[in-house]
């Protein structure tokens, strides 16, 4: 079978789980994506939004974002790119992030279909600013093996990213910053999770407890908190 080809489109300073820096940590992109790395359009699923009780703060779960088969294909694609302990462009204190990660710029078509599925369920504005009509193409996937954890933290805001016209370099989208983090659960986990909420005073999310068992295909608005062994999240 022909193996899909990929290239490194950025090299950033990478932070290790227990402290330390690795220079030239790669961000990847596929030159030829795996044939199965597609989302069906129209979707066989009907995504549904469930708002979480956060005392007026914004947090919600989206059910039926991707099918089990689509989730498996995203996981397989990430395994082809390869996981590593250091996270490019991420700075976390020692011991906060104990997991493996791969960062990549996803195909534009994949992200367009994903936004088409759930964009109508997202807030139209955050902090008085209109929502951009599309997702950043940069995808950060984290793998949790036994005893791995991403301890509770507050996400900062991020710019949007895509590829340059010939697909050789990651480029930052000028004038755009994230206000919500989306966690996409790509396989099932046995534990409950701590969800996060949008904090209007700071463009990120603040952790609070929410007991619910995540399911594959979930989308959770917010940012990472103590996650689940054996799961992968973007």
Task: State which residues form the domain around 210.
Answer: 6-233
Q: What is the mean pLDDT of the chain?
A: 81
Region of poorest pLDDT, from 117-121, 125-129, 144-148, 196-200: 196-200
pLDDT score, position 74:
93
Band of the pLDDT at 210, cuts 50, 70, 90? very low
Partners of 88 in the β-ladder? 14
Does residue 133 surpass a pLDDT of 60?
yes
Number of domains present in the structure of the chain? 1
Per-residue pLDDT averaged across 165-178, rounded?
94
Look at 205 and 218; give whichever has higher pLDDT: 218
Flag whether 179 is in a domain: yes
Residue 106 resides in a domain: yes
In a domain, 1, yes or no: no
Mean pLDDT (whole number) for 179-207: 54
Higher pLDDT, 185 or 54: 185
Using CB atoms within 10 Å of the CB of residue 134, give its burial: 0 to 12 exposed, 13 to 18 middle, 19+ buried: middle
Lowest-confidence pick of 8-22, 94-108, 123-137? 123-137
Whether residue 35 is predicted with pLDDT greater than 80 in this model: the reply is yes
pLDDT of residue 195: 38
Q: What is the CATH number of the domain that holds 41?
A: 2.60.120
- Residue 90 scores a pLDDT above 80: yes
12 found inside a domain: yes
Q: Domain for residue 210, yes or no?
A: yes
């Amino acid at each position: 079978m022909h193996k899909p080809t990929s290239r490194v489109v950025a090299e950033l300073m990478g932070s290790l789980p227990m402290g330390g820096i690795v220079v030239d940590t790669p961000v990847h992109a596929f030159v030829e994506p795996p044939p199965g790395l597609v989302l069906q359009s129209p979707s066989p699923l009907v995504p549904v939004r469930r708002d979480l009780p956060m005392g007026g703060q914004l947090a919600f779960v989206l059910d039926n974002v991707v099918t089990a088969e689509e989730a498996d294909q995203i996981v397989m694609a990430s395994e082809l790119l390869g996981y590593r302990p250091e996270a490019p462009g991420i700075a976390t204190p020692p011991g906060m992030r104990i997991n493996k990660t791969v960062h990549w710029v996803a195909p534009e078509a994949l992200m367009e279909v994903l936004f088409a599925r759930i964009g109508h369920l997202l807030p139209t504005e955050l902090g008085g600013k209109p929502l951009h009509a599309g997702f950043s193409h940069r995808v950060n996937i984290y793998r949790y093996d036994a005893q791995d954890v991403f301890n509770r933290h507050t996400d900062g805001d991020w710019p949007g990213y895509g590829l340059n016209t010939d697909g050789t370099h990651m480029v930052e989208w000028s004038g755009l910053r994230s206000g919500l983090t989306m966690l996409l659960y790509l396989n099932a986990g046995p534990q409950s999770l701590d969800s996060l909420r949008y904090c209007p005073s700071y463009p990120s999310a603040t952790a609070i407890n929410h007991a619910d068992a995540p399911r594959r295909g979930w989308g959770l608005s917010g940012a990472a908190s103590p996650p689940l062994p054996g799961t992968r999240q973007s």
